[in-house]
Structure 1
């Protein structure tokens, strides 16, 4: 049976009310261990359905629910059903933290799938570290984090930039303009980008940050026109991506001469802005909707059948989908009485599967994921043409910008 978003939210609210009066659940009374009860495994789903990043996070929610429904339809995990508790943190880091506490303490979820921005991940991190719970984070991010309580399934800087930046310098030139949203992810990605550019003899003519949700880019576009960079390197996120692209196009700028090269512009943002506004620009990501594989065709067909033929998949919805299957594989190794966040964490180390992008694997040392970097150019139909794929999957190196620091199973070390 398919469940609507509204039905899920009503169900989650009802479950919370029943739980307070004795409904069987995963956690035991002292909250230190978890167990499967009455054939159910309760998980949290924490993506924004409203606010500035809902443009992307709603699709992460949909991909997560699709995977849960598929697993349950196939018999669940050793016969146990996954029960999702959905919360809307409304694109606000403080609300993310509040909802995370609810999912861990009140709803007693054994793990939580959530977040798009690093600001929201940082906001919930203390909750999961203090309570020894487990957070599955599907988004490309800046690295420089080493937590035993997060499974990171999105790309880190070396998996998006190591091939992308040299390729762009060779194709377009060495004069770069860096534009990003004003929080940790764009600043750390740009820090890594600048290290690569320095090694290539390139220069940064401007580096600028705008608030989350920013929509007025006329002054930025004027600087593009006056400085004439060869490449505009964009780490703008959410609704702002749409505004930036539309105003770039309205100003008559030419992506053939001054392309925007993004780590954050996916098919989802392109669908919102229209293909003409995105055509000619570039994105680096491990996954594009057009990727041709049996696993991806199955994913795309299932996503469209579940959520609408006009919907698109992209490089954050894809890990949102496959990380639920990795969770399933880890939990399937455990007896019902052993289903605890620490045990799931140990069980998921080294787990692999054939995801829509190709074979992925959780790195034992740092709980990040081996991925397949690709470079795509957007077309006017809203899809990307894949111009280049790495010859092999790439190891995640979350501290590559800081070579004296290493994330290991024992924790963060410095040399």
Structure 2
């Protein structure tokens, strides 16, 4: 059983005022007596692997949303109960855990904050069985029945940032580098079209194995290609190591970087001395100037303390995932899978980013372009 105390101990969290008594954990093969007063949400989140750097702040964000919603009576009168499962390991292991959840009837809803390669595995297990809310940035195009994705997608996130850099920074030569899995593959296909629309050209592209820590060959190719901008789709810890090496090779002062999945947690890992000329586009930054964000940050720090892990874009999406579910269920009047899917088109929910609307199975939100300044990001444009 994963308890409040074990979560705090594992991630060294202070005791938050809003943390509920127990965060449940599904035990494979064990059928628990079902309490219909509870809404059991199986939360698949990367706690290990390259994306594991977002684990502690993502758990905080989800727990905060759960506590706030439960304090108002829950979702359709049912108190949320989270069970947390590591989605950062081998996909076969993650799939086995998901199958155990289905077989043991241990969840009503699935919440996912993990890499797209895991989403493709989990959606096969949960399709037609459980609603599955997927929260972080992704490649777009999700159409599997029952999967509801609310993260940023390339047309709204990458395209305007590329156009801005082409116009304001005269960026014409682009080098693309990403992790070797589905999100960078599909994102780069779209990015190449946007670069061509902006009148630029791609002078090189690499895909790097997950967990690779020697980026010297890629940096040498980048240096030889002399791009104006390096477009980076490396995930989590892999992005941290690449950006450190990029600066150590003396490239930071000579070319721009546009990161495809970058937030304050990653910037902290890169280090203040290695973020020169680093840009990022996202639907959320910690200093985003919205009333919803100011309220979110105040409640987050009130619950977890001023020294808690920074809730950047990836982490904050876990908070919005539960608020999206609350808004959708209220609109549908049910938590039935088909009812929730039918209610998604045109739904509007409130989160730290303000009001977000769903249209054609895609979340519509303002996108910020920001430039790193040490560990912080200064907003340069809003699209």
Question: Under a length normalisation based on structure 2, what TM-score does the superposition of the two structures give?
Answer: 0.89
Aligned to 2:363: 369
The one of 360, 378, 383 equivalent to 1:385 is 378
Q: Distance in 1 between matches of 2:95 and 2:377?
A: 35
- 2:141 aligned with 1:137: no
**Local SS of the residue matching 2:143:** coil
CA RMSD of aligned residues (A): 2.4
Q: Are 1:359 and 2:360 matched, yes or no?
A: no
Cα distance in 2, alignment partners of residues 241 and 357 from structure 1: 24
1:125 aligns to what? 123
Aligned 8 A contact 2:113 2:135 in 1: yes
Q: Note the 1:238-317 alignment, pairs <5 A.
A: 238-255=236-253, 257-310=254-307, 311-317=309-315
Could you tell me how far apart the structure 2 residues matched to 1:153 and 1:253 are? 35
Per the TM alignment, residue 63 of structure 1 is displaced from its structure 2 partner at its CA by 1.4
1:344 aligns with 2:354: no
Match of 1:92 among 90, 93, 98: 90
For the residue of structure 1 that corresponds to 2:50, the secondary structure is coil
Map 1:159-198 onto structure 2 (within 5 A).
159-170=156-167, 171-198=169-196
Separation (CA, whole Å) in 2 of partners of 1:221 and 1:272: 19
> Which of 14, 31, 37 is 1:20 aligned to?
31
Aligned residues: 368
Partner of 1:398: none
For the residue of structure 2 that corresponds to 1:316, the secondary structure is: helix
The answer to which of 140-149 and 71-80 deviates more is 71-80
Question: 1:245 deviation in Å?
Answer: 1.1
Question: How far apart, in 2, do the equivalents of 1:188 and 1:305 lie?
Answer: 39
How far off its partner does 1:78 sit? 4.1
Structure 2 distance, partners of 1:9, 1:225, is: 54
Distance 1:78 1:203, change over 3 A: closer
Residues of 2 paired with 1:61 and 1:236: CA distance? 22
Aligned to 1:154: 151
Distance 2:373 2:187 in 1: 25
CA distance in 1, matches of 2:185, 2:179: 8
TM-score (norm 1): 0.82
Match of 2:7 in 1: 6
What is the distance in 1 between the residues matched to 2:38 and 2:110?
Answer: 15
Change (3 A) 1:387 1:101: same
Give the distance between the partners of 1:57 and 1:225, measured in 2 at CA: 34
Q: Which runs of 5+ in 2 are unaligned?
A: 9-19
Change (3 A) 1:322 1:160: same
1:397 equivalent in structure 2: none
Q: Distance between the aligned counterparts of 2:109 and 2:56, measured in 1? A: 19
Task: Return 5+ residue gaps in structure 1 as ranges.
Answer: 26-36, 391-415
